[in-house]
Amino acid sequence: MMAGVTLREALTLPELRRAAPELVAGAAGADRPIRWVHATERLDVGRLLRAGDLLLTMGTGLPPDDDVAGLSAFVDELADVGSAGMVVELGRRWDSALPDALVDACERHRLPLVALHRETRFAALAQEIGERVVDQQLTELREAQRVHETFTELSFAQAGPVEILQAVQQLADGPVVVENAHHRPLDYFAGPGDAGGFLDGWPARSRRVAVAGRTGWDAANGWLVTRLGSADQAWGRLVIGSPDGPSQRLAAVAERAAAALALHRLHDRDRGTLMRRTHLELLTALTDDPDSEDVQRRCELAGFAVRRRGFVGVVVRPRIGGSAPADLDDVAATVVRAAHGLRVPALVCEVERDLRVLLSVPATSGADDLVDRLAARVVPHHDVLVAAGRPVPRRAGVGLTLAEAGQVADAAPQSPRDEGAGVHRLADLHLRGLLALLGEDERVRLFVERELGALQQHDRADRARTELVAALRALLLHPTSKTEAAASLHLSRAAFYDRLARIESVLGVDLDDPDVRVSLHVALVADELFAGPPK
């Protein structure tokens, strides 16, 4: 139903004011919109009315005053059809007051009941209210057309999320937020009266908001919330600030915006898949034959500058075991937008569930700074690890910088986001960096086997599951406190000391010897890097 003038608003219209109206019951329902006006004296008027119709009557056809049941039944019928209210002109049936049974029934149903103390022409009232209703309906239609044209133009222009959300902000005249499925804001456009606190405490507040269906209004926060994606595969929500109950137009804006964002997401993924396939081919060609004129020409056609440029390889890897694993398509789209925003040419492709990124940087610019700025636009939105190789000045070094970025990613600890934000580089990894440079050198493998082999074999054979390797790792991670080491394994000091004694017996070493500790620590790190994370 289209919004119309409410009964409370109608009471201020000139023609109705001249009739000296008095709202005698049902004031709680006076803000319902009036769809149309119907004047009649028929008792069976209920079957002629529709939801939102306002009844004008003199009461001559209503049951007698002492027929409480009949008057109540008449009001019940009006309430059942969703009438906007009843206006009764005094003078023909009742002189100065309406019967209590009628008033009580209307109050019970919160059905507005208005008494007119002066004679008036119902035709004039119907025309005045009807014209206002039609005007508002025309306004709604014009606004609906504006919404339709806006989103049609956005669709034809293949607008991105920024353009779509800017259009929503203008149409809604309020703040707009897109959040992901974990209630983390992804985009935000402030409203005209937003003092800057709209996002305060957002994740906690958003988690408490649940709406039925695709779109709903949360009165506590003043949010119009629309699901993004299907019910089974929702990837986020669109939130529009709406302190008052949203109009049908605003709900339509939210729905059309959600559809536009979903369509862009679909097209963006299709374009992204094709783009990454093309970029993988270019990256492979640059690595295999960097001096080829044909490869150079293909890169230039793809918008990736290679003449008089430097290069830096980057690996973006979703963290393993997180509560909200990053979607590689989403991460790739964010990386592409970030590179575009920084005006730095980039090749972005997927290799074994990693994103490999090659940045083309001016020879005189700070490549490390560009990588840091790129990561700053990606890491806040996705739970990923970002690793960078050293910048190289020529195309011949592309393979080296990408290989080093991969080695750094392999060596970097898989720490949580709040501990691992930023860019990992070889110089930051210390021992891990050295071992990453050595790669899977056979001598490193033999060293690990010599240092830890007996202990690992013992753990595999020990049915008591004493886990001596885990005890050794705890000792080396807490070098200053055996109490803390024992606590990390939820062991008593006595049990932990017993395991240390067994380690010394199995390996034939003294764990208090600094050289022994260093050697064992290097072996544990190398084993973790090249044999997988600790179990």
CATH at 446: 1.10.10.2840
Provide Rg for the chain, Cα atoms: 36
pLDDT at 411 over 80: no
Average pLDDT over residues 185-198: 72
Structural domain includes residue 150: no
Residue 516 shares a structural domain with residue 447: yes
Selected residue with higher pLDDT from 14 and 328: 14
Structural domain includes residue 402: yes
pLDDT at 419 over 60: no
CB contact set of 497 (below 8 Å; sequence gap of 6+): 482
Residue 222 shares a structural domain with residue 334: no
Residue 328 shares a structural domain with residue 453: no
Residue 328 shares a structural domain with residue 354: yes
Closest CA to 229 of 198, 189, 269: 269
Average pLDDT over residues 225-243: 87
Among the candidates 133, 149, 173, a domain finishes at: 133
Note the pLDDT of residue 271: 54
Q: How confident is the model at residue 230 (pLDDT cuts 50, 70, 90)?
A: confident
Per the structure, the complete domain to which residue 345 belongs is given by 289-434
Structural domain includes residue 205: no
pLDDT at 420 over 60: no
Both structure tokens of 437 = 């440079």
Sign of the C-alpha dihedral, residues 425, 431, 432, 436? positive
Element (H, E) at 386: strand 384-388
Note the pLDDT of residue 149: 79
The enclosing domain of 96 has a CATH number of 3.40.1390.20
CB 228 within 8 A of CB 234: yes
The enclosing domain of 234 has a CATH number of 3.30.450.40
pLDDT at 328 over 60: yes
Residue 424 shares a structural domain with residue 455: no
Residue 259 shares a structural domain with residue 354: no
Structural domain includes residue 204: no
Average pLDDT over residues 215-234: 87
Rounded CA gap, 10 and 490, in Å? 74
Burial class (CB in 10 A: 0-12, 13-18, 19+), 96: exposed
Q: How confident is the model at residue 406 (pLDDT cuts 50, 70, 90)?
A: confident
Residue 219 shares a structural domain with residue 261: yes
Structural domain includes residue 145: no
Residue 32 shares a structural domain with residue 91: yes
Note the pLDDT of residue 418: 42
Note the pLDDT of residue 359: 95
Structural domain includes residue 284: no
Q: What is the pTM of this model?
A: 0.43
Let me know the angle formed at the C-alpha of 74 by 71 and 78, rounded to the nearest 5 degrees.
140
Among the candidates 418, 434, 450, a domain finishes at: 434
Residue 293 shares a structural domain with residue 404: yes
Structure confidence by residue, pLDDT tens digits, 426-465: 877 777 767 766 766 778 778 888 888 888 888 877 655 6
Contacts 24+ apart (CB under 8 A), 72-78: 72/101, 72/104, 72/105, 74/43, 74/46, 74/105, 75/102, 75/105, 75/106, 75/108, 75/109, 75/111, 76/105, 76/109, 77/45, 77/46, 78/45, 78/46, 78/49, 78/109, 78/111
Sign of the C-alpha dihedral, residues 462, 466, 467, 468? negative
Residue 54 shares a structural domain with residue 127: yes
Rounded CA gap, 296 and 304, in Å? 9
Note the pLDDT of residue 321: 47
Note the pLDDT of residue 417: 44
Closest CA to 529 of 421, 449, 413, 423: 413
pLDDT at 333 over 50: yes
CB contact set of 49 (below 8 Å; sequence gap of 6+): 38, 55, 78, 81, 83
How many separate domains does the chain show?
A: 4
Residue 476 shares a structural domain with residue 459: yes
Selected residue with higher pLDDT from 320 and 251: 251
Average pLDDT over residues 488-507: 87
pLDDT at 505 over 50: yes
Among the candidates 409, 434, 459, a domain finishes at: 434
Structure confidence by residue, pLDDT tens digits, 95-143: 888 999 999 999 999 999 999 999 888 888 888 888 888 877 777 777 7
The enclosing domain of 388 has a CATH number of 3.30.70.2730
CB 410 within 8 A of CB 389: no
Residue 388 shares a structural domain with residue 416: yes
CB 33 within 8 A of CB 52: yes
Structural domain includes residue 270: yes
Query: How much of the chain is helix, strand and coil, in % rounded to 5?
Result: 50, 15, 35
What's the one-letter identity of residue 66? D
Q: How confident is the model at residue 534 (pLDDT cuts 50, 70, 90)?
A: very low
- What proportion of the chain, given as a percentage, has pLDDT over 90? 22
Both structure tokens of 196 = 């800057």
Structural domain includes residue 138: no
Element (H, E) at 357: strand 354-362
Structure confidence by residue, pLDDT tens digits, 43-100: 888 888 888 899 999 989 899 988 999 999 999 999 999 998 999 999 889 988 899 9
